[in-house]
Amino acid sequence: MDAPVVPLNRYLTGEALFQALIRETEELCARATQNQDVLLFISDIAISKVRFIEPYAFAFYELASNGERVELCHFSQVKVQLLLIRREPDRPRVITGFFRGGEPAA
């Protein structure tokens, strides 16, 4: 039985990474309790949103109370951690969000 043919250009973009990040975040969310945040980290920086700028780049928006910082990088340079973290009891649950292109939905 032959494997399906996948166009080579699919592996030369960030699409596979974007889908993997979404899939793994959803899987962690399914296992998380209500008192846990599901956050993506780059180094020690907590990320609130991930924007896929097709076809090659990602924008990572820092979760910060003193403004917003954005890290831009080529998909081949992305190295992240996806973690479950105990939520502070006095604030709402946080889950890293994902979107393509323009501004995220409110």
Length of the chain, please?
A: 106
Q: What is the pLDDT along the chain (106 residues), one digit of tens a residue?
A: 677 777 776 667 898 899 999 999 999 899 988 889 888 998 888 888 999 999 899 999 987 767 778 888 999 998 889 888 888 888 888 888 887 876 654 4
pLDDT value at residue 106? 46
Looking at residue 12, its amino acid is: L
* Entry pTM: 0.77
Q: Where in the chain are the domains? A: 8-100
What's the CA gap between 29 and 2, in Å, rounded? Answer: 35
Instruction: Answer left, alpha or beta for residue 101, where phi above 0 means left and psi between -120 and 50 means alpha.
Output: left
Looking at residue 19, its amino acid is: Q
